[in-house]
Structure 1
Amino acid sequence: MSNLTEETRKVARTWFEALTSGDFETALNTLDENVEWINYSIVPGYNDDMKWIGTVHGREAVLGTLQIFTGAVDVKSERLINLVADGDQAFGVIDEVSVVKETGVEFHIEFIQSLTVRDGKIVRWKSYTDPSEIIRALRGDKPEEVAV
């Protein structure tokens, strides 16, 4: 494994351990001051119920989006289930169970976070998931019971 890959893996592991344990100070300290944070693309009328999504730049802007998220959603569990690092790129798969505070409806998702690491800091972060479960919960729609 190259030194670059080892450094990327170390930064990514610190990010994911801090994130999944709720240690936002440590998590934010892994981000470059001018980080590019891409949390989905907004599609008006579809996923814009998720007020924390979109692209922002800088650690303070990221903190703002995280505050919007944690104001709307109570994270019950979040765990890293896979981490791959190569060169300055890392990809983590996260399993999350959360409840929307306003509706009381739970959602369960898996999502991928793509990280680019330079000089020991995350300079680019991008998230990928199917947001349908989140949107359903935000709108207060409970999941259908599945007949067996």
Structure 2
Amino acid sequence: MSSATEETRNVVQRWFDALTSGDFETALGTLAEDVEWINYTPVPGYNDDMKWIGSYRGRDAVLETLEIFTGAVDVRFEKLVNLVVDGDQAAGVIHEMSTVRGTGVEFEIEFVQWLTVRDGKIVRWKSYTDPSQIVRALRGDVSGREAR
């Protein structure tokens, strides 16, 4: 394993361990001060119910979006199920089961976080998932409970 791959693996493992245990302070500490944060693209009328999504720059902006997310959603279970690392790039697959606070409707998703690490910090974070289960739960729709 190259030293870049090893460094990336160590940084992203700290990120995922902190994230899945709810330790946002440690998680934020793995991010570069000017991290590029890309959490889907808001599409009016489709996924704009997800008030925390969009593209942001910097740890403070990331913290704000995480606070919006955790204010709207109670994450009951989150686990890293796969991690692939090569050089300064890493992709982690997360399994999440959550409940929307305002509706009480549960959702279950798998999503990918694509991370770039430089100088021991995550400099770019991008998320990929099918948000339909989240949108359904935000809108209070209890039909279609099939997760994947």
Query: Residue 53 of structure 1 aligns with which residue?
Result: 53
Report how many residues are paired.
Answer: 146
Which residue is equivalent to 1:132? 132
Find runs of 4+ consecutive structure 1 residues off by over 6 angstroms.
Answer: none
AA partner of residue 117 (structure 2): V
> Percent identity at matched positions?
73
Deviation string, structure 1 residues 99-132 (Cα, Å, up to 9, x no partner) = 0000000000000000000000000000000000
Query: Structure 2 matches for 1:1-148, cutoff 5 A?
Result: 1-144=1-144
CA offset digits 1:9-58 (Å, max 9, x no partner): 00010000000000000000000000000000111110000000000000
TM-score, normalised to structure 2, is 0.97
The separation in 1 between residues aligned to 2:77 and 2:129, in whole angstroms, is 17
Query: When the two structures are superposed, what TM-score results if normalisation uses the length of structure 1?
Result: 0.97
Q: Which runs of 5+ in 2 are unaligned?
A: none
CA distance in 1, matches of 2:10, 2:66: 23
Partners of 1:115 and 1:125 lie apart in 2 by: 5
CA distance in 2, matches of 1:71, 1:116: 27
TM-aligned CA deviation for residue 145 of structure 1: 6.9
In structure 2, relative to structure 1, the CA distance for the partners of 1:80 and 1:99 (3 Å cut) is same
AA of the residue aligned to 2:7: E
RMSD between aligned residues: 1.0
- Local SS of the residue matching 2:91: strand
Runs of 5+ unmatched residues, structure 1: none
